[in-house]
Amino acid sequence: MKNIVILISGGGSNMAAIVRCAQRDAWAEKYGAQIACVISNKADAKGLVFAREQGIATEVLDHKAFATREEFDASLAALIDRYDSLAAPALVVLAGFMRILTPAFTAKFAGRMTNIHPSLLPAFPGLHTHQRAIYAGCKFAGVTVHMVTAELDHGPILAQAVVPVLPDDTADALAARVLTQEHVIYPRAVASLLSA
């Protein structure tokens, strides 16, 4: 069985979309894959409640308990490794995990770690993407699913979806429109990796 480990920091709406898709489309039978664990760096992350309700194992690893980013990432890697097997190493899915990962961590999970970013990369890496797109006068914005590399919000693009930027858009309104697309393309991108 291929284990999928999802990392979150908050509400986990993309994680929930992936879980629902896995259930609806029978990933266990179709791909031999299961959502094995949801890990958060915040104990109060609302997404953990949803995961537990689905019978998925959850773990909390508070980044504030570590003196350095390297120590946190080493402990996080060890935690993910508990869901690994030699036959099918875990796929690590970042779904609103608000931590910048160290090069050692990204190297360890290279080729099997995905992220979703609310812009049409390579445009607007980093934070405040929707407001930046509006300020820049963009006619279109969107979302990108990509493989994770050591460079923030880079790596091979797996999927993108485009939404229009409307004349009276606010960052919140644009974010809400983009989020609906995130929930469509992230489960699809993960499924496509599992079927490869």
Separation CA 14–CA 47 (nearest Å): 9
Residues of 150-162 as b/e, b for ≥16 C-beta within 10 angstroms? eeebbbeebbbbe
d(CA 48, CA 45): 6
R_g over Cα of the chain: 16
CA distance 183 to 114: 14
Report pLDDT for 90. Answer: 82
146 among known catalytic residues: no
- CATH number of the domain within which 151 lies: 3.40.50.170
Task: Identify which of 116, 94, 112 has the alpha carbon closest to the alpha carbon of residue 38.
Answer: 94
Whether pLDDT at 27 is above 90: yes
Residues 61-105: pLDDT tens digits? 999 999 999 999 999 999 999 998 766 678 999 999 999 999 999
Digit-coded pLDDT (tens) for 151-176: 999 999 999 999 999 999 999 999 99
Range of the domain at 118: 2-195
Distance CA 146, CA 53 (A): 28
pLDDT at residue 87, as a whole number? 62
Q: Which of 63, 117, 146, 183 is flagged as catalytic?
A: 117
pLDDT at 68: 97
What pLDDT is recorded for position 89? 77
- Tell me what pLDDT residue 51 has: 98
Number of domains in the chain: 1
Average pLDDT, the chain: 96
Summarised one tens digit per residue, pLDDT across range 111-151 is 999 999 999 999 999 999 999 999 999 999 999 999 999 99
The predicted pLDDT at position 85 comes to 76
Q: What is the separation, in whole angstroms, between the first and last Cα of the chain? A: 15
pLDDT value at position 84?
Answer: 85
Compute the half-sphere exposure of residue 183: CA atoms within 13 Å on the CB side of its CA: 11
